[in-house]
Structure 1
Amino acid sequence: MHQTTNLTFNLFVCFFLLSTTPLFAQTDLLDSDSYSISVGGASVTLETPFAAFYNQAGLAELESVSAAVHYQQLYLTNDFTEMSGAVCLPLKTSTFALSVWQTGMTGYHESRFGLAFAKKLGPRLSSGLQFSYYMMDFPENGTIRGTFLFEMGARYEFPGKQTLGIHLFNPFGAGIQSNFNQRSIPVALKVGAGFPLGDKLKTYLGTSGDMEGNYKLHGGFDYQPHEHFSLRGGLSGKPVRYAAGFGYRWNFLQTDLAVSHHALLGYSPSVSLTFNL
């Protein structure tokens, strides 16, 4: 009976996600840690400090003060990198988080600074929101312009440990105006699910996109043969991007490594460190 319930849930999730994907387009949502990258960006249900970047509701389940940092070398180009970090403070029924993200190369950078709040609304339901300031360094005139962004999300866990998550980014359609052009930041939505297959295997499925008709599908798995060690893999597109990685947890430190491959641009290795204090 329990296996039948799990199968019914998994089929429902697959049909739901596939039916929603034509409504939204490819987004600028960030996969700003190696765990998310290694499972193909199907990260909207994850419970890590990096949830500050892809669904703030996942912060509500954190139990200890934590700090996390991430570094990615994009497409094996020496001066094209992405860096991010988050500090999380859990309270009795809520969590606060500060986050920072930056990407770019010599002469051009994009940055985002965020303040997130997540709260448990019940034993299975949590929600979160974040206010951010996003900046771009425009190389054509040597100026820096920015705008305020808002995002919010929710997460629900079923009795069988299956989870559903949803995240809405920039619902008010904020953008940045320079002296010569307008940088559009799309309204974007990400929907996803996670479900265990036995005690050692977790699978993830998601879709993301904006209102202009582009979209992505995301899928991945996390196999944990040992209490402290995980193997992961994932796929997303379009364009097709596949990834692999592993994680190791020892005492207060979680280390995650990943490498992803973009069909057009090549490989991007990354590393993330999470300190649970």
Structure 2
Amino acid sequence: MLQANAQLSFFGARSTGVSNASVTYKDNWSQFSNQAGIANIEEISIGAGFKNAYFIKELSTNALAFAIPTNSGVFGVNYSYFGYPKFNQNKFGLAFGKKLGKRISAGIQINYLFTHIEGEYGSQGMATGEIGIITEPIDDFFLAAHVSNFWRAKYSGTDEIYLPMLFKLGASYLLYETALLSVEIEKDLEFLVIFKSGLEFNLSNTFFLRFGIASNPMVFSFGFGYKLKPFNVDLAFSKHPLLGYSPAITLEYSIKKNKSK
């Protein structure tokens, strides 16, 4: 029977650069961290990403994200693959984000997770869900909450092997329109609370510099981004105290959506 927890935790290189303190972020990669964040997307967005944990090829994640804005809200489709042929985890997601007012947005996503382990363990799939919200109570100050696997999906044929249920709460503040400070706490029902903090500097509206730190274990991160419409490129590294560095990169292409007459 499968006993591996999901390893699909790549939220994009921008997020990696701030140690994943990104629950308040609003971009295409919010499909992986907080679906409420895609509600503000105004252009069709196509993104591809790659993360290699500790420079071990078997611990790599590949991800794709596609978002399209409509009059009803923003729809997203995403896919991620972790592992290698003998052990891999696949996640297919359908997301929807919508503005509920000038200062609040919400999002939801339905996932299908498929895990394969070569040999007697076999393969197994299951459906899970995610839900999130982002608010801006005052100008430039954001609060967010997100829950993944909110109906506590578990592997069939077992009574105790559940997929992780994660709760995230976060806040961010835009300082002088050039620096975004983010803090976040993450709690898995079975593990210690993780505290995360990140800082993103907007140096020229085209170049971004990022730093982050997270606890349990203590992880330091840094990265940068470059925007040259219609392309975005983000690169980041995180450093585990024992296992070393993990690089991540994402590429994104945006297509201006024709407005209805």
Whether the TM-score (by the shorter chain) exceeds 0.5 is yes
Equivalent pairs: percent with the same residue? 28
**What is the aligned partner in structure 2 of residue 235 from structure 1?**
213
Q: In the alignment, residue 197 of structure 1 is paired with which amino acid?
A: L
d(CA) in 2 for partners of 1:254, 1:161 = 23
**What is the aligned partner in structure 2 of residue 276 from structure 1?**
254
* Counterpart check, 1:74 vs 2:53: yes
TM-score by length of 1: 0.86
Map 1:1-277 onto structure 2 (within 5 A). 30-141=9-120, 143-177=122-156, 183-277=161-255
Query: How many positions carry a matched residue from both structures?
Result: 250
Aligned with 1:186: secondary structure?
A: coil
| CA drift at 1:34 | 0.4
d(CA) in 2 for partners of 1:219, 1:105 = 31
Q: In the alignment, residue 163 of structure 2 is paired with which amino acid?
A: I
Aligned with 1:176: secondary structure?
A: coil
Verify the 8 A CA contact 1:29 1:54 in the aligned structure 2.
Answer: no
Verify the 8 A CA contact 2:108 2:130 in the aligned structure 1.
Answer: yes
| CA drift at 1:251 | 1.4
Structure 1: gaps of 5 or more residues: 1-26
Change (3 A) 1:120 1:70: same
Verify the 8 A CA contact 1:255 1:272 in the aligned structure 2.
Answer: yes
Q: In the alignment, residue 198 of structure 1 is paired with which amino acid?
A: Y
d(CA) in 2 for partners of 1:80, 1:216 = 22
Q: In the alignment, residue 70 of structure 1 is paired with which amino acid?
A: G
Structure 2: gaps of 5 or more residues: 1-5, 256-261
Change (3 A) 1:31 1:158: farther
d(CA) in 1 for partners of 2:114, 2:160 = 13
The root-mean-square deviation of aligned C-alpha atoms, in Å, is 1.8
Q: In the alignment, residue 253 of structure 1 is paired with which amino acid?
A: F
d(CA) in 2 for partners of 1:41, 1:168 = 15
| CA drift at 1:40 | 1.0
Verify the 8 A CA contact 2:46 2:67 in the aligned structure 1.
Answer: yes
TM-score by length of 2: 0.91
d(CA) in 1 for partners of 2:194, 2:76 = 28
Verify the 8 A CA contact 2:8 2:81 in the aligned structure 1.
Answer: no
Deviates more, 1:53-62 or 1:99-108: 99-108
Change (3 A) 1:208 1:28: farther
| CA drift at 1:39 | 0.6
Deviates more, 1:181-190 or 1:163-172: 181-190
